[in-house]
């Protein structure tokens, strides 16, 4: 993949959304994407002066995780001067759709600092409408060119889905959004393998949902402006395995 331009201005944003023939005043009638004048202005702000390609972003994440599990963290971009810099604008080089599990903090396991990662976290790393909206924002307005769907070992949300037992309250919403990912023909009789396989299935399923349920993300990927990948974090070793 060639180097990708970062920020998408108003005209290109409308093009990838399939809305070039619509005037701004008629955008509210679009079923696939509803934008008003105020939202258009937001998308025109803060063009990224130094866009980072998906390939470069992946290398930075790999290097950061290597520092983390080797206990050689650098704690980059965490000084007071960085606070002043990011207070003016943010240009995260990668976006993470991760699980809300307290043992999986993306900035720590990738050894990154303030303004480096655009993080969306929800139990089971589910590609919900809210998550998709957030990721559409960072890819179009902030120039982020890599999205990682980050699952992890011993994920409680996936375990609850595999166990298929009644759950209280709105936890059922989480389970219902993971169930389609599970393929019984790929599970084994070993409890650990069943859960691990289900976690991998869910990572891939949620990554696919991002493209299937978002015209914006889908067109960005097709045009070569965005890469979406899955990744698996081992909470016992600290290592992240990136998936094709």
Residue 70 has what pLDDT? 98
Give the pLDDT band of residue 187 (cuts 50, 70, 90).
low
- Range with lowest mean pLDDT among 30-44, 121-135, 209-223: 30-44
Residue 49 has what pLDDT? 67
Residue 206 has what pLDDT? 98
Segment 17-43 shows an average pLDDT of 42
Residue that the structure tokens 């979406």 belong to: 228
pLDDT at 118 over 70: yes
As its CATH architecture, domain 47-156+207-243 has: 3-Layer(aba) Sandwich (3.40)
Stronger pLDDT, 110 or 19, i.e. the higher one: 110
Give the pLDDT band of residue 193 (cuts 50, 70, 90).
confident
Within 8 A by CB and 6+ apart from 116, the residues are 76, 77, 92, 93, 94, 107
Residue 162 has what pLDDT? 93
Segment 64-71 shows an average pLDDT of 98
Residue 8 has what pLDDT? 40
- Smallest CA-to-CA distance from 99 within 214, 210, 203 is with 203
Interval 206-238: pLDDT, tens: 999 999 999 999 999 999 999 999 999 999 999
Evaluate whether 174 touches 82 at the Cβ level (below 8 Å).
no
Residue 18 has what pLDDT? 44
Provide the β-strand partners of residue 26: none
Distance CA 152, CA 175 (A): 16
Distance CA 228, CA 222 (A): 11
Residue 50 has what pLDDT? 73
Segment 172-190 shows an average pLDDT of 78
Residue 146, classed as helix, strand or coil, is strand
Domain ranges of the chain: 47-156+207-243
Task: Considering only CA atoms, give the Rg of the chain.
Answer: 19
pLDDT at 3 over 70: no
């Amino acid at each position: 993949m060639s180097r990708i331009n970062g920020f998408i201005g108003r005209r290109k944003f409308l093009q990838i959304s399939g809305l070039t023939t619509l005037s701004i005043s008629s955008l509210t009638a679009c079923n696939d994407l509803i934008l008003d004048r105020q939202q258009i202005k937001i998308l025109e702000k803060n063009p990224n002066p130094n866009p980072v390609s998906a390939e470069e972003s992946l290398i930075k994440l790999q290097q950061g995780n290597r520092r983390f599990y080797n206990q050689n963290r650098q704690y980059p971009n965490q000084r007071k001067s960085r606070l002043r810099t990011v207070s003016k604008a943010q240009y995260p080089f990668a976006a993470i759709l991760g699980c809300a599990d307290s043992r999986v903090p993306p900035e720590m396991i990738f050894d990154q600092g303030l303004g480096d990662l655009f993080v969306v976290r929800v139990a089971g790393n589910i590609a919900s409408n809210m998550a998709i909206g957030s990721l559409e924002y960072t890819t179009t307005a902030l120039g982020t060119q890599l999205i990682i769907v980050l699952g992890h070992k011993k994920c409680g949300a996936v375990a609850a889905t595999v166990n298929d037992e009644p759950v209280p309250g709105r936890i059922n919403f989480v389970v219902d959004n993971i169930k389609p990912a599970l393929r019984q023909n790929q599970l084994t009789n070993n409890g650990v393998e069943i859960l691990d396989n289900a976690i991998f299935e869910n990572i891939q399923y949620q990554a696919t949902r991002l493209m299937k349920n978002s015209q914006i993300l889908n067109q960005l990927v097709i045009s070569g402006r965005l890469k979406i990948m899955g990744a698996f974090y081992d909470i016992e070793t600290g290592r992240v395995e990136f998936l094709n």
